[in-house]
Chain A
Amino acid sequence: MAGIVVLLESDGSHIAESNVAALRFAQDLASIWQTDFDLLVIGGADIGSQIEPWQKYGAASVQVIANSAFDHPTADKIAAACDQMMKSSGASTLIGGATTFGKDVLPRIAEKRELPMVSDVIGIDADPSHLRFVRPTYAGNITTTIELAQRSAVFSVRLSAFRNPMTHESASKASAVGIDTSTLPNRTDWISLEAAARMRPELTSARAVVSGGRPLRDAETFERLIGGLADTLQGAVGATRAAVDSGIAPNELQVGQTGKVVAPDLYIAAGISGSVQHLAGMKDSRVIVAINTDPDAPIFSVADYGLVADLHQAIPELTEAIRSGSNK
């Protein structure tokens, strides 16, 4: 077992696609520290059947904790299991994605292991003697460099900053880890998960994202205009906090400091004025398009292409133009 462990996010029955970011960061870190890394997955009794795609990334091993106690894992139980595993293996560094899963469980594990944690990492200093890591603070307005005293820490990794982990020919070997479930905390009961059916690419990994604000007025218009353009681009749909607050879009679509952070090749902001909070979630996109009736909206100061227009006319026109263009 290596000193570095990647905790793969799972809902108990599936392993999240977004784990590729943590894997890429683990590969980069292991290469700088000249060591290797292991993967850890915690889930229900059948979770072992899901690990095959994760065995191709060069991990020394995939440790599998499969137990019905983790059918719907909660932070207290995952942290207890991960703590047990790290204690017995001697691992001192843990990596996961800065998703709501990671933000929930990773600091809890960090505290149990008495480790420092670097949240939302976006960069690593390549000099192995430095132990320096870069992360956004103040809604992305100030970049902060953190230095660790030792090679032991917990990291949550910003999904948009680490991509495309290298694949290897030989598969990582899987090994089952037994766990003493009698000592797991039992004061949290999982009741339900209300998740919209996913028919579009994941917001944080989509190549194109179309986001809408409150001028969309209602959920039906939002879906027809923003969803329609996103589908034409085979992209994902995002929303502003105002749109989510007013019930036009579901919470899981919120892009911003406290929502999801995205950095697609193409980000189209429709009816979005560009609050600091929203910009924090999308300003690292490669190409930004803004469509807004107000020529002075702050969004235009970060947009590569700005169109001063009413989105109710411009979006259908744009959707049609792209659709007919791609059919040529």
Chain B
Amino acid sequence: MKKPTRKYLLLAVIALGTWVWFRSGDSDEKRIRKCFDRLAECVTKPSGEQSVMMAAKMHNLGNVFADTCYFECERAMMTGDYTPEEVSSHAVRARSLFGDVKLAFYDLNVLLSGEGRATATVTARLTGTMKSGESFQETHELDCVLAKCEDDWRINKVVVVQVLDK
């Protein structure tokens, strides 16, 4: 291999290494992203989900939210303060309506405001099949506030943004 080619390859390897190192860092923003990943994982229900798996997911779901989380989501009839246990029981009831359901988050923008608080804007997309066989699809923009609790980020406030107002 020619010397200039080797030089370019070396530069590419250095750039790739820097990118991997940067991506693998455990920053607050990355922890917040993981928090949303956990939330999506807990809400997602594959068809034929075992009850043991459901119980484990609902337990983990409680760990995603702060001791008190404020919700403003008229569509899901959730407005006010909820404890993690209340959120979990609400999720159990909602999940029971579906044969399968998938929650995915897109375009997560995190803004760290210091003092262990952060705001996040994200698009949440819920797709699935109702028990009746009807397919279901909902997309909403969420404004969230997160609080840092013992090195971990918990969701403290969830407000559904009205993108289209009839």
A interacts with B: no
